[in-house]
Amino acid sequence: MKLLINDIGYNFKDEKLLKTALTHSSFANEHNCKSYERLEFLGDSILSFVISSSIYKNFPDLPEGELSKLRASIVCERSLEECSKKLNVGKYLILSKGEETTGGRERASILADVFEAILGAIFLDGGIEPARDFINKYLSDAVIESHSGKGVFKDYKTVLQEIVQQNEGSVEYFEVKEEGPEHNKIFTVGIKYMGSDLSYGSGRNKKEAQQNAAKEAIKKLQFNND
């Protein structure tokens, strides 16, 4: 459990909330305890609110219908399942023997539900800010890669340029270093914004390094200001 708490990035005052967030209804029914279902309900609402606020702020030209599509492409079972897999949630699930033997630890719907339940537990324990931090940590890539509202990836440099133009700003890419043997070089690039270094990225060529630097810049600009 301690490893999971470290990966979540939030220290619970009441760790029982996290235990409940990991408890499937099949186990709860057998042992007369609480399951994650109520926490999932709460987490789902918080997730929708935070993502809706973020895309409303960062995509001011999208109409309501496109905003809804964009949110749906981010807050979907597949993306939430992937977030749970990053946390290795399946290892910590509290399941009945029957659910265990039928593959509950790998079931996409359960993993997605538990991610929302963990979010609900964080909110109850610490409020909206740690809940927002948790969402930003695990779903920022999904927001960026769903930028078009259709799940179609735009290159990060283009997305970054669109964001800074909305704020009447501009970015400047600069080379930081080049290292490694000739056949296996690693390039590092930085980005300046408003006169300060905003982000850095590395890659096997300068274009890849620029894309990675732009990806990090987008995360900072979109989520640090929410």
Sequence length of the chain is 226
Q: Which of 44, 81, 133, 145 is catalytic?
A: 44
CA distances from 43 to 15, 53, 119, 169, 198 (A): 17, 15, 5, 35, 32
116 is catalytic: yes
> Residue 136's CB: how many other CB atoms inside 10 A?
18
Q: At CA 62, angle to CA 59 and CA 65, rounded to 5?
A: 130
Residue written as token pair 């609480």: 34
44 is catalytic: yes
The residue among 24, 139, 35, 142 whose CA lies nearest residue 87 is: 139
The CA distance from 206 to 89, in Å, is: 36
> Residue 153's CB: how many other CB atoms inside 10 A?
12
Q: Which of 40, 81, 113, 116 is catalytic?
A: 116
CA dihedral 160, 210, 143, 91 (to 10 degrees): -160
Positions marked catalytic: 44, 116
